[in-house]
Amino acid sequence: MNINDINNSILKDSVYYFNKILLGNCGNEITLENGTYDLRVTYANERFFYMTNNDFGLKNVAFPIYNKKNLVIDGNGARLNGIGRICPFYIYGSENITLKNFVIDYERPFFSQGEVVAAADDEVVIKIDQAKYPYQIKSGVLSFVGTDYSNEFVHGILEFSKQDKRPLADAVDNGVWGPLVVEELEPGLLKIKKKFRKLPNVGSILSIKHEQRYVPAISIDSSKNIRLENITVYHAGTMGVVAQFTENITLNNFKVSIEPGSDRVVSANADATHFVGCSGDLVVTNSLFENQLDDILNVHGNYLRVHAVVDSTNVIAEIPHRQQVGAFSLKVGAKIGIYADKTMVKLSETAVKSIHVINNKFYEIEFTDAFEFAADQGYCIEDLDSYPTVTFTNNKGGKNRARGLLLTSAKDILIANNELYCEGAAIKISADMTGWYESGATNSVIIKDNILSRRNTKTWGKALIDIDPEMEEFEGYFHGNITIENNQLIVGDFPLIYGGSIDTLQIKNNNIIGSKSEIYMNAKQIKNLEIEGNTFS
């Protein structure tokens, strides 16, 4: 693809040509000339897709990679400049796909920011650069605008330090979930009429996230053998990478971060990376994840909730969370577990005999073996095979809202030789049957040779490492073997470990630094606990 050919064409629209090639019989390699390619929605392929932990709907896609095999797209250092709600890459039903050597950014990001110049109980005054973060005001309601973009919905507001461009120490979320009422004192000077949970400091930067979860940078769905290499995401409307129901994914030298020299405080609007219901090997190495508005890495499955019992071999199951509806991959013959929702204890294993799709939320599932359901008990169903082995090595990440790594996979997990400097818990090993319904009782987790720290003492986790399956009643041991070994663990006014329901927890040969807390562990329900060889300073 030669950028001069595109610019000299009749349409002068790179997405038109990307779509035409990829939706046709393209070869095995597409190479872009180094340059800047505007990704506009005008001629983009439209596809309605359900992507887990995102809002479903009709999306515009710049690079539609559907049902392809053995394809390499080499950006050759190109910059892909998103304009409007364009999804740069959507990989579906494909195998042996490599993307490499390019940058993704957006001309008008899906957040705005301004510097605090005055703060009082019910109103905060900020100064916004209108050239970078254009806006309009109608009837006192702030609307954020740009080329092919307009939105008056505001998700929330977060305070950042101007000096180090990370959430201010002990910052809290200020949710809006609707329009933001303002008064324009003069062009670029806005008085926000809202009560903040914590009054921001004069001189701080407020990020205003004004987009729901519509626009990931790279989406991967129902595919196999995907490799992302030497790619930088300076901005995304939700995740940098989100993948579901895909076998074998590798990220090498993958960056989600703000661009050097930029005044932005936010990279991706949600997680840097997110993987759901995947299998095979998930490898993330030599990468950087900073300034995103949610976690560095999230790996999990999804529980189905039993909505109605037809008989001992038939149930109506539902997808409980609105940002997971339609993301259903259970297959006939799959091995499943049946769980009590309050204790999260597995009660039975069986297999799927048949599936009838009712709609995007409800599914009728027939089992091969009968199970006697109690009328006064809630139940969940888990696909026991849709988990990957996870290898997360030689990475750096932090300066982001929320946590570092969220790990719920039933296969082996290795976290080694990383540096994580998060606001909340650096590592969280959880699962729940009440909110997101994210599944995955871990079997073996090894956390070794890392440098782990956190700064926020009040929110986004209760310790440096949270191991906290969210059951209402403790019974048995939910997580398996967890080893924390040879790490440098930097703690403050919070414990080193919080949680419980663990079969075996080993804390060995770590250098534990700087605790101001008298409690190193706030945990219960641990069957085997081994603490040895640690040093404290």
Tens of pLDDT, residues 518-529: 778 999 999 999
CA quadruple 504, 508, 514, 520: dihedral sign:
positive
DSSP conformational letter for 3:
H
Looking at every residue in the chain, the average pLDDT score rounds to 96
What is the spatial distance between Cα 68 and Cα 85, in angstroms, rounded to a whole number? 24
Architecture of the domain made up of 302-383: Beta Barrel (2.40)
- Residue 109 pLDDT > 80: yes
Confidence band for 313, pLDDT divided at 50, 70 and 90 = very high
Instruction: Look up residue 135 and give its amino acid.
Output: Y
Phi, psi for 237 (deg, rounded to 5): -70, -30
Would you state the torsion angle of the CA atoms of residues 475, 480, 485, 491, taken in this order, to the nearest 10 degrees?
A: -40
Short-list 266, 273, 296, CA closest to 159: 266
| pLDDT value of residue 297 | 98
8: left (phi over 0), alpha (psi -120 to 50) or beta: alpha
| pLDDT value of residue 26 | 87
HEC letters along 11-51: CCCHHHHHHHHHCCCCCCEEECCCCEEEECCCCCEEEEECC
Residues 6+ away with beta carbon under 8 Å from 376: none
CA quadruple 293, 273, 222, 414: dihedral sign:
negative
Phi, psi for 17 (deg, rounded to 5): -75, -40
pLDDT digits (tens, 9 = 90+) for 151-169: 999 999 999 999 999 999 9
| pLDDT value of residue 175 | 96
DSSP conformational letter for 138:
E
| pLDDT value of residue 116 | 98
| pLDDT value of residue 136 | 97
- Residue located via tokens 């505007």: 38
The length of the chain, given as a count of residues: 537
> Which two structure tokens, joined as six digits, stand for 118?
């005055």
Phi, psi for 363 (deg, rounded to 5): -140, 130
pLDDT digits (tens, 9 = 90+) for 218-273: 999 999 999 999 999 999 999 999 999 999 999 999 999 999 999 999 999 999 99
DSSP conformational letter for 4:
H
pLDDT digits (tens, 9 = 90+) for 66-92: 999 999 999 999 999 999 999 999 999
| pLDDT value of residue 520 | 87
| pLDDT value of residue 513 | 94
> Which two structure tokens, joined as six digits, stand for 159?
């305070």
**Residues forming beta bridges with residue 175, ordered by sequence position:** 156
pLDDT digits (tens, 9 = 90+) for 41-75: 999 999 999 999 999 999 999 999 999 999 999 99
Assign 307 to helix, strand or coil.
strand
What is the spatial distance between Cα 72 and Cα 75, in angstroms, rounded to a whole number? 10
> Which two structure tokens, joined as six digits, stand for 380?
């969940």
Residues 6+ away with beta carbon under 8 Å from 29: 71, 72, 73, 74
Neighbours of 43 (CB within 10 A): 16
Summarize the confidence of residues 401-410 as an average pLDDT: 97
Instruction: Look up residue 148 and give its amino acid.
Output: D
- Residue 515 pLDDT > 90: no
CA quadruple 378, 384, 388, 392: dihedral sign:
positive
Question: Taking the domains of the chain in order of start, what are their residue ranges?
Answer: 3-108+213-290, 111-209, 302-383
**Are 216 and 242 a contacting pair, CB within 8 Å?**
yes
- CA angle, 433 then 435 then 436, to 5°: 90
| pLDDT value of residue 7 | 81
Q: What is the pTM of this model?
A: 0.97
